[in-house]
Structure formats: C-alpha cells, structure tokens
Amino acid sequence: MGQLIILRHGETEWSRAGRHTGRTDLPLTARGEEQARALRGPLAGRRIIRTVCSPAERARRTAELAGLTVDEVDPDLWEWDYGGYEGITTAAIQEGRPGWFLWDDGVVPGDVEHPGESVEHVGERVDRVLARVGPDLDGGDVVLVAHGHVLRVLTARWLGLEPRLGRLFALDTGSLSTLDTEHGRPTIASWNEPAC
C-alpha cells in the first residue's frame, strides 16, 4: 500500500506576513520557489501514481517546481474560505475580537468572492478528496498539493478526528508530510518536514 503525501505550497507574500490567504491567488515568492524546488529530493524515488492539486496558482507552481505532473486539479483542495477575514492577520482580527481563534470561532461572511465557510464544511470537502484518492493508494503513493489549513483538516479526517482538531497539526510552507496506515489503521508517518 502506498502513502498519501501532502505538500503545502511554498511561501507567498501573505503567508510570510501571516495574512489569511484563502481564495486570493498569490504567486510564490523567490523563497517559495526555492522551497518548491527543494521538494524534488524527498520525492525522488517514490512510486507516485497520482498527483492532485488545488486550483490555486501557488499550489500548481509548487507541484511543477517539485517535478510533479498534476493529474487532476481538485476544487475541494482550495484553502479554507476565510470570508471577511481574507487577507487579515490573526493579530488584526483579535483587535476587534479579543481571543479570537480560527478553529473555535470561525470566520465572518465576506463578499461574493469570499463568502466564508465553517470548519465542518472544509471537513466535508476533504472527506470527498480522501474518498476519491483512497483506492489509488493500493497501487502506490498519491500526492496532494494544497494549503496549510485545508491539509490540517484533511489530516484530522484521515485519522478519524473531527475537522476542528486540525488545529493540532502545525504545517509550514514548503513542507512535506506523509500519511500512512499501520495494521490497517491510519497513522502519520512523517510530519511538517521542511524542504529546505
């Protein structure tokens, strides 16, 4: 059985600044491109049979620089829609909502392009991704290239945890993690390994 390899895209200007970047499509920084190229080494020699990517340019560019051929672009791998908090840092949100924590308090509605979504909705999206790629793991490794929060929720769901427990899995830009099974039960084989 193969492993589910999850790659968080390389750094962008907003990720470096700690701004919530859901559906705003930003390019990688020079550092982000360096991180993405560095992923080639850890991926070399793996039996990758399928690569599925978020529609975001930052994810697709990460896959390309990592030497992957994207087999499918999956809208269910878009980052959490932060609604009215799109582009805003946690510190700035907490000025108006002291103690605000994304995983507990959620988001407020935004404009038409950023209506916002609950962590439960993100969980439903990643459940669909896992259902679609799960059977492929019998033939080899599957790579998912996406974003920090959506991949954290996906990891929680892989482990059979509720979506909001994705808060337990910090995930840096340009990192590689592997999800696996042991005796038929889901596990984490490696986590948040930096590309460079």
List per-residue pLDDT tens for the chain, 196 residues long.
899 999 999 999 999 999 999 999 999 999 999 999 999 999 999 999 999 999 999 999 999 999 999 999 999 999 999 999 999 999 999 999 999 999 999 999 999 999 999 999 999 999 999 999 999 999 999 999 999 999 999 999 999 999 999 999 999 999 999 999 999 999 999 999 987 6
CATH code for the domain defined by 4-194: 3.40.50.1240
Measure the CA dihedral 194/142/130/184, to 10°: -90
Residue among 4, 1, 8, 42 at smallest CA distance from 169 = 8
pLDDT of residue 195: 75
Cα separation, 59 vs 10, whole angstroms? 8
**For residue 146, which of 35, 81, 62 has the smallest C-alpha distance?**
62
- Asked whether the beta carbons of 13 and 186 are under 8 A apart, the reply is no
Residue 179, C-beta contacts closer than 8 angstroms, at least 6 positions apart: 3, 4, 5, 6, 155, 158, 186, 187, 188, 189
Q: Known catalytic residues?
A: 9, 79
User: Could you give the CA distance from residue 55 to residue 172 in angstroms, rounded to a whole number?
Assistant: 19
Q: Tell me what pLDDT residue 156 has.
A: 98
So where are the chain's domains?
4-194
Q: Using DSSP bridges, classify how beta strands 4-8 and 48-53 pair: parallel, antiparallel or unpaired.
A: unpaired
Phi, psi of 86 (to 5 degrees): -55, 130
